[in-house]
């Protein structure tokens, strides 16, 4: 032993140390206790919230978009279930992720479920490669915010039901595969009325940015509600055009949510133990979108489609003369909104858009209101009214039509040599010479005043698609345009609806409806009522008068008599094409388009585009009009020959439908008794 002075049992060396050791140990445990105080008492609430967040997931409860029905309850737009297959890259193909280590040892990864999925979906080798490349790209890194976990990859849209069943059967082997039920908009009548109904599409970035401005996620819930009352999110389906777009806020409905308990592996837990952990409120029921009841009759639309079958392009508007409610809005050529609403995948949508926008007949244009055309002779009743109202013309005065007239050094030709004609005959026979003389006397601005009073050249405010205003030119408009070089020719052209005059078929139909009802210009309406999903009426829209046109009844009668003669006088322009069984009045029009063929035009198309527009604006029945029609056959040629037969066929079908519906569904006359506030009871 090195030190024999000290006994082995002498513990003196240690004696001074014990209290320091005790102090050190006590301090160490006090630090731990202090940390526990911090975590559990000071920050306890915060950590509890995090722990709660860990296990509570807010699951969105989808809403259903409202159904659009026609006047007789036929469904025009509804939603059908559709299933998309999405995969979480990191879970469907764990082998694509970088290897993770735990305690220095690679962590075992689950087997890939991707090959099984690819088999069930019957993906071809090229598709497989494409998706595999995307998954690998997404999983280049696998940290928390990597697309490997956060961004599902859409593999198939609108998967057939038998494959859905197969996928559900093999859920256990298909980790990371989600079958997402998406309500898909469905338009059973396809092209028919497509412009009016519109279509739905995924919300675009700009619109979304308006509803979700930067910093939206940090806003308080009230503020979010204010900025984005309908709760738009990326990837949402919204109405893109037509009624779907204009009535979006009614149709959309409000999403709900439900708090569900999940474990760390993302599995839902149920039972009383789990429910105990859900804090109130645990659920917000979704509000289904409102249904719309239109004034349009889809059977009338079908009849119009049939009548327009021989013609390539055109538009028809039918309006109830007594209410301004639209009975039909028809634009040709049309498109199938099912293609554009993503029914069969995004590729299909792209392909459809490319096809539609390449078509020279402009199928995407709603010609009833977004297209403006020269009205031709359908303008004449308004020129006549301008003359009569201001006593500029004696209606009994005759003008001799020699088939042409010379103004200055220009020769302008009439359609026939009409001989001596009075005002009424000039309308019935559509004598341009008479109206040129009339225009000379009356002047441009008087005619414009009456035309504008009847709503021509102005937006009607229907609001379902962008409206073309059209144009009723005035002297001041010309002086701006031609720097004061006003020519009498402008006035002459205007009186017969040529030159710079343009109107939309909707405007013309509304104006003729006003002629038919004694001068009341209605606001056109297409939605009759808003209903809940169980059929109770929430809101009804009574007819709205835009203005009462001040007219002397005897002047109006002269004009409407002339419209009667157009069809029913043997010299009337529509006489030969009339249907003797029908009681129709109206005015034909053959409008020059002023199209000048360009060099690189396809010859056939160029020929087509130089053809006149064929018009017929009709009222039926002639003596007590119910319906006003504006029929436009684009580049169809002669109004009497082309447009009149179409209108006759439509009127015939209208009468037939009226006689059928009159018995049990007085839809066009008086609305069914309102049931506001009574959700129960169903449909009458």
Q: What binding mask, one character per residue, do residues 88-117 give for another protein by CB under 8 A, x or -? A: ------------xxxxxx------------
Of 11-19, 179-187, 223-231, 538-546, which segment contacts another protein by CB under 8 A? 11-19
543 exposure class (CB count in 10 Å sphere: 0-12, 13-18, 19+): middle
Residues 6+ apart with CB under 8 A from 679: 532, 534, 536
The three-state secondary structure class of 607 is: helix
Per the listing, tokens 């006689």 go with: 659
Between 39 and 665, CB nearer to another protein: 39
Between 33 and 545, CB nearer to another protein: 33
Nearest to 333 by CA among 378, 376, 298, 363: 363
Separation of CA 50 from chain center: 43
Of 15-23, 204-212, 605-613, 627-635, which segment contacts another protein by CB under 8 A? 15-23
Measured at the CA of 337, the angle between CA 332 and CA 341, to 5 degrees, comes to 155
Nearest to 330 by CA among 306, 360, 356, 358: 306
637 with 611: CB under 8 angstroms? yes
Q: What torsion do the CA atoms of 604, 606, 611, 613 make, to the nearest 10 degrees?
A: 110
172: contact with another protein by CB under 8 A: no
Between 16 and 409, CB nearer to another protein: 16
Between 28 and 480, CB nearer to another protein: 28
268: contact with another protein by CB under 8 A: no
15: contact with another protein by CB under 8 A: yes
Q: Site for another protein (CB under 8 A): which residue of 35, 210, 346, 397? A: 35
Between 102 and 604, CB nearer to another protein: 102
Dihedral sign from CA coordinates of 346, 348, 354, 357: negative
Q: What binding mask, one character per residue, do residues 54-83 give for another protein by CB under 8 A, x or -? A: xx----------------------------
Of 44-52, 377-385, 503-511, 630-638, which segment contacts another protein by CB under 8 A? 44-52
Q: How many Å apart are CA 160 and CA 343, to the nearest integer?
A: 12
13: contact with another protein by CB under 8 A: yes
Q: Site for another protein (CB under 8 A): which residue of 263, 275, 359, 402? A: 263
Of 72-80, 258-266, 292-300, 606-614, which segment contacts another protein by CB under 8 A? 258-266
Q: Site for another protein (CB under 8 A): which residue of 9, 206, 485, 659? A: 9
479 with 382: CB under 8 angstroms? no
The three-state secondary structure class of 202 is: strand
36: contact with another protein by CB under 8 A: yes
At closest approach, how far in Å is the CB of 141 from another protein?
A: 11
304 with 119: CB under 8 angstroms? no
22: contact with another protein by CB under 8 A: yes
Nearest to 361 by CA among 329, 334, 328, 330: 334
How many residues at the interface with another protein, by CB under 8 A? Answer: 59
Nearest to 135 by CA among 123, 154, 148, 124: 148
Of 177-185, 247-255, 261-269, 622-630, which segment contacts another protein by CB under 8 A? 261-269
6: contact with another protein by CB under 8 A: yes
Q: Site for another protein (CB under 8 A): which residue of 156, 254, 265, 344? A: 265
202 exposure class (CB count in 10 Å sphere: 0-12, 13-18, 19+): middle
Between 102 and 391, CB nearer to another protein: 102
- Which H/E stretch holds residue 230? none
**Long-range pairs, 146-149, Cβ under 8 A, ≥24:** 146/90, 147/89, 148/89, 148/90, 148/96, 148/97, 149/88, 149/89, 149/90, 149/91
518 with 556: CB under 8 angstroms? yes
52: contact with another protein by CB under 8 A: yes
Between 98 and 310, CB nearer to another protein: 98
Q: Site for another protein (CB under 8 A): which residue of 209, 277, 605, 662? A: 277
DSSP state of 317: E
At closest approach, how far in Å is the CB of 60 from another protein?
A: 21
At closest approach, how far in Å is the CB of 55 from another protein?
A: 5
Q: Site for another protein (CB under 8 A): which residue of 41, 205, 280, 411? A: 41
114 with 132: CB under 8 angstroms? yes
126: contact with another protein by CB under 8 A: no
Tokens read off for 69 = 């029905």
262: contact with another protein by CB under 8 A: yes
At closest approach, how far in Å is the CB of 265 from another protein?
A: 6
404: contact with another protein by CB under 8 A: no
Q: How many Å apart are CA 663 and CA 641, to the nearest integer?
A: 35
Per the listing, tokens 């992720």 go with: 97
Q: Site for another protein (CB under 8 A): which residue of 5, 220, 347, 680? A: 5
At closest approach, how far in Å is the CB of 94 from another protein?
A: 14
CB atoms within 10 A of CB 447: 28
Q: Site for another protein (CB under 8 A): which residue of 126, 143, 396, 600? A: 143
138: contact with another protein by CB under 8 A: no
Q: How many Å apart are CA 316 and CA 304, to the nearest integer?
A: 8
Which residues of the shown chain bind another protein in the complex (CB under 8 A)? Answer: 1-3, 5-11, 13-18, 20-22, 25-26, 28-29, 31-33, 35-37, 39-41, 43-48, 50-52, 54-55, 100-105, 143-144, 261-265, 269, 273, 277
């Amino acid at each position: 032993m090195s030190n024999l002075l000290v006994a082995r049992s002498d513990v003196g060396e240690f004696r001074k140390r014990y209290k320091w050791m005790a102090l050190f140990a006590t301090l160490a445990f006090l630090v731990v206790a202090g940390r526990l105080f911090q975590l559990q008492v000071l920050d306890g609430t915060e950590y509890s919230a995090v722990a709660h967040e860990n296990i509570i997931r807010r699951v969105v409860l989808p809403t259903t978009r409202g159904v659009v029905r026609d006047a007789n309850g036929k469904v025009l737009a509804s939603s059908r279930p559709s299933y998309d297959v999405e995969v979480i890259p990191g879970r469907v193909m764990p082998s694509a992720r970088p290897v993770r280590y735990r305690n220095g040892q690679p962590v075992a990864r689950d087997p890939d479920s991707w090959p099984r999925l690819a088999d069930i979906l019957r993906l071809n080798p090229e598709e497989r490669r494409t998706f595999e490349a995307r998954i690998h790209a997404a999983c280049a890194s696998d940290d928390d915010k990597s697309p490997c976990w956060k961004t599902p990859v859409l593999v198939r849209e609108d998967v057939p039901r038998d494959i859905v069943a197969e996928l559900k059967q093999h859920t256990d082997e298909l980790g990371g595969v989600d079958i997402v039920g998406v309500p898909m908009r469905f338009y059973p009548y396809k092209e028919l009325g497509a412009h009016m109904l519109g279509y739905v599409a995924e919300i675009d970035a700009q619109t979304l940015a308006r509803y979700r401005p930067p910093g939206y996620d940090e806003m308080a819930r009230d503020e979010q509600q204010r900025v984005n009352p309908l709760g738009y999110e990326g990837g949402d389906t919204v109405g893109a055009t037509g009624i779907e777009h204009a009535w979006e806020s009614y149709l959309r409905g409000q999403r709900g949510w439900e708090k569900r308990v999940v474990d760390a592996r993302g599995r839902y837990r149920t039972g009383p133990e789990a429910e105990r952990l859900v804090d109130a409120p645990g659920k917000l029921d979704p509000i289904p979108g409102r249904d719309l009841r239109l004034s349009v009759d889809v059977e009338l639309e079908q009849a119009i489609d049939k009548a327009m079958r021989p013609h390539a392009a055109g538009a028809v508007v039918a309006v109830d003369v007594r209410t301004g409610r639209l009975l039909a809005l028809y634009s040709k050529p049309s498109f199938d909104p099912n293609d554009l609403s993503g029914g069969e995948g995004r590729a299909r949508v792209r392909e459809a858009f490319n096809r539609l926008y390449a078509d020279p007949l402009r199928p995407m244009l709603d010609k009833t209101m977004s297209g403006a055309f020269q009205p031709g002779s359908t303008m004449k009743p308004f020129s006549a009214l301008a003359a009569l109202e201001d006593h500029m013309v004696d209606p009994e005065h005759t003008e001799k039509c020699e088939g042409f007239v010379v103004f200055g050094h220009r020769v302008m030709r009439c359609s026939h040599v009409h001989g001596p004609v009075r005002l009424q005959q000039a309308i019935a026979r559509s004598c341009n010479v008479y109206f040129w003389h009339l225009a000379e006397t009356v002047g441009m601005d008087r005619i414009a005043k009456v035309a504008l009073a009847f709503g021509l050249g102005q937006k009607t405010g229907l609001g379902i698609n962008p409206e073309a205003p059209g144009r009723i030119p005035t002297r001041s408009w010309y002086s701006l345009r031609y720097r004061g070089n006003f020519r009498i020719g402008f006035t002459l052209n205007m009186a017969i609806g040529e030159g710079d005059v343009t109107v939309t078929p909707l405007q013309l139909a509304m104006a003729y409806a006003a002629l038919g009802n004694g001068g009341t210009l209605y606001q056109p309406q297409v939605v009759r009522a808003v209903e809940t999903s169980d059929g109770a009426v929430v809101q009804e829209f009574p007819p709205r008068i835009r203005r009462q046109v001040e007219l002397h009844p005897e002047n109006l009668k002269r004009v409407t008599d002339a419209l009667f003669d157009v069809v029913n006088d043997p010299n009337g322009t529509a006489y030969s094409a009339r249907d003797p069984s029908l009681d129709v009045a109206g005015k034909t029009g053959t409008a020059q388009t002023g199209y000048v063929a360009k060099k690189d035009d396809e010859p056939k198309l160029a020929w087509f585009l130089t053809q006149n527009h064929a018009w017929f604006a009709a009222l039926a029945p002639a003596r007590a009009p119910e319906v006003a029609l504006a029929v436009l056959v684009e580049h169809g040629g002669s109004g009497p020959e082309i447009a009149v037969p179409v209108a006759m066929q439509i009127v015939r079908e209208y009468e037939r439908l009226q006689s059928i519906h009159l018995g049990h569904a007085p839809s066009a006359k008086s609305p069914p008794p309102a049931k506001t506030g009574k959700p129960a009871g169903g449909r009458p």
